[in-house]
Amino acid sequence: MAERAILPFGDPILRKVAKPVDELTPRIIKLLDDMVETLYASDGRAGLAAPQVGVLRRVIVMDCGEGLIELINPEIVELSGEQDGVEACLSFPGYYGHVKRANEVTITSLDREGKPFMLKGEGYLARCIQHEIDHLNGVLFVDHVKDRWLYHEKTKQKIALLDVIRLTNQGS
């Protein structure tokens, strides 16, 4: 296993749609293992999608407090309810925003052995699943920020989303 670099906001790979995994090869298993190591080394965050480490495949690892979840080719089959909450992203370090998501989600996926399974989540788990699946579709949490403001994690200073995007792109 090896820790991988997480791509920062502004990297064009983050806006691309990831391709399905056609076959569970040793390379995909290594990707899962590396992503798990990267996730746990990344300051206790909840999830990581393969595009965030530069791989355009539909692979996610998550730990939203109830143990490791690995998803290969996840697809949302049902959304219901509504929740407002705070979201942040490893590709957008130092900032968070308020995002509206479904409160309950049901997905289908494959596990690392290629076996299909269904996963239902609500609350924080549902938020994490939606956030990470968005990454597979080239969508970032900043696309959903409801009031167009982000907040700096340390200072809590309110910053216009467009200003953060501009500053981040200048640093890329």
Which residues does the annotation mark as catalytic?
132
Q: How far apart are CA 118 and CA 108, in angstroms?
A: 4
CA angle 153, 157, 158 (to 5 degrees): 105
Q: How far apart are CA 34 and CA 53, in angstroms?
A: 10
* Residue 101 exposure: Cα atoms within 13 Å on the Cβ side: 28
Task: Report CA-CA distances (Å) from 132 to 25, 62, 165.
Answer: 22, 8, 20
Q: Can you say which residues are annotated as belonging to the binding site for Fe cation?
A: 89, 131, 135
136: DSSP letter: H
Q: For residue 53, which phi and psi values (nearest 5 degrees)?
A: -110, 20
3-class state of residue 98 by DSSP: strand
